[in-house]
Structure 1
Amino acid sequence: MSEKKIVSIEDRIPKLKQARKKKANRRLVLYLSFFFFLISIIVYLQSPLSHVKTIEVNGNVFFTDEAIIELSNVEVQTSIWSVDKEEVVDSLETNPIIEVAAVERRLPWTVNISVTEHERVAYTKEEDSYFPILSNGTILREYGQKTQNGDAPLLVQFTDEEYLHKMSVELSELPARILNLISEVHWIPTAENNNKIMLYMNDGYIVDGTIRDFSEKMKAYPSIVSQLDSDEMGIIHIGVGAYFESLEHMEEKEETKEQLENE
């Protein structure tokens, strides 16, 4: 039988003391680290190190960075922790141009402001200037320009704000490929239909329709045009149902009407 090695308590005590000492040292280092970490936080919060030094702005098109910062009421040299994110968002979103805003603190001293502005969907012309119209119907009169860029349709004779707003919303819901085909939209209300509009398209066609459900009905436009002879111009009706009426047929109808009236 093999003999078991017996270790006396006297031999084990130094090792136990050494292990306990290492454990106590590790605990002391942990406590000291935590203590200095808390001290560092307190110093950071109480010193200019926590003051806002940089304000970043992104997503803005119509507004300059400086204008966004002014609207936000965020100031440099104030504590980054005093920036009330909800209050800043509320300040920005009350502006009719801004649809959504977000604010983020980036330690140690940066505030990031992101905005999404309402999309520009059209222009209107007043005197000799063109003004952008946003998807919520807001006219940006401070952004007048002498020429139309051709990147959005021109709204003509929309003298009533209610119908201007309705038309703007409908245009904002159109796919870009269809919106880009529209040159002008004329509001021509009648006694029977206040929503009546006439569109002049970049491909030469005319569209007769209404503001109500315009975006949904206009989605059929590319399909209708693809079935037409490219040399035959006319009016595409998208009010009740959808059909094409050639200019030649319209002229014949007009001649027949005149003949009947003269008889």
Structure 2
Amino acid sequence: MGQPLWTVWHHDQQLSKVANTNNDLIKQVTVTTHWWDVRLDAKEYLQAGNLLRNGKYYQVIENGRILKTPLTHPTAGYPVYSGFKHDATFALVIQQYAGLSKDIKRGISEIDLSPTKANPQRLHLFMNDGNEVYASPASFRAKMKYYPEIAAQMNGKGIVNLEVGAYSYPFPQHKSKSKTKHGTTNDHVQTSR
């Protein structure tokens, strides 16, 4: 404000670069100049969840960036990620999550890295409907689109395994109520997490 209009003309790329450098949430800035005014339109990255690291939550956006300021509580409506380092696996999971439908995104409570010998990148998802899902980062988005149909055909709550193929099975009879890492209660098998 208060700058001569000529200082803005033909500097839209520079303004966009400065905006991106100063604000991690800005995806793109479009500068439109009219005879006596300038209009800036900013597009922001969407939130992709909350990363749990050292007992603190950090906002993650869809380009894979982890914002530096810790949150006191995770942002409601987004999954909590845990067990991840800031590496290629985490970046792939965020990219895959970003491509999911809104309904499936809303159904995910937690995404944990839960490696096994057979699958060192195995994901363990806790769903808001009480089911749990096992998946692999590379096929996560493609296979999660089948989750609503699989869950609808299940008799009760259980596990949906999307690692190789897609199948489901009920929880064992000794189900117990337990809390997820960020405090919501789901009916699921007590795990040693």
Q: TM-score scaled to structure 2, two decimals?
A: 0.80
Equivalent in 154, 170, 179 of residue 96 of structure 2:
170
Other-structure match for 2:31: 103
What's the offset of the Cα at 1:160? 4.2
**Equivalent of residue 82 in structure 2, options 153, 156, 160:** 156
Give 1:213 shift: 1.9
1:212 to 106, 120, 138: 138
Secondary structure, aligned partner of 2:31? strand
Provide structure 2 residue ranges, at least 5 long, that are not aligned to the other structure.
176-193
Offset of residue 189 of structure 1: 2.4
Which residue identity does 1:185 align to in structure 2?
A: I
Report the AA paired with residue 106 of structure 1.
H
RMSD between aligned residues: 2.1
Does 2:58 align with 1:131? yes
Counterparts of 1:96 and 1:150, CA distance in 2: 20
Q: 1:183 to 1:125 in 2, by over 3 A?
A: same
Give the structure 2 partner of residue 256 of structure 1.
none
SS of aligned partner of 2:19: helix
Q: Which residue type is aligned with residue 77 of structure 1?
A: G
SS in 2 for 1:88: helix
The one of 150, 162, 180 equivalent to 1:238 is: 162
Q: Does 1:81 align with 2:9?
A: no
Structure 2 residue matching 1:248: 3-state secondary structure: coil
What's the CA shift string for 1:89-116, capped at 9, x where partnerless?
A: 23334564322221112331x3221111
**Contact 1:93–1:99 at 8 Å: present in 2 too?**
yes
For the structure 1 residues 152 and 203, does the alpha-carbon distance in structure 2 shift closer, same or farther, using more than 3 Å as the test? Answer: same
Distance 1:126 1:250 in 2: 31
Partners of 1:249 and 1:211 lie apart in 2 by: 30
The reply on whether 1:203 has 2:129 as its aligned counterpart is: yes
Show the 5 A alignment for 1:15-164: 76-83=1-8, 84-94=11-21, 96-108=24-36, 110-142=37-69, 144-164=70-90
Name structure 1 gaps, 5 residues minimum.
1-75, 252-263
What is the rounded CA distance, in whole Å, between the counterparts of 1:156 and 1:219 in structure 2?
22
Q: Kindly name which structure, 1 or 2, has the bigger radius of gyration based on alpha carbons.
A: 1
CA contact (8 A) 1:97 1:138 kept: no
2:109 pairs with 183, 202, 208, which one? 183
8 Å CA contact 1:156, 1:185 repeated in 2: yes
Q: Percent identity?
A: 25
**The structure with more strand, counted as a fraction of residues:** 2
1:118 deviates by 1.4
**Structure 2: which amino acid aligns with 1:203?**
D
Report how far residue 87 of structure 1 moved: 1.9
Measured in 2, the distance between the counterparts of 1:156 and 1:129 equals: 11
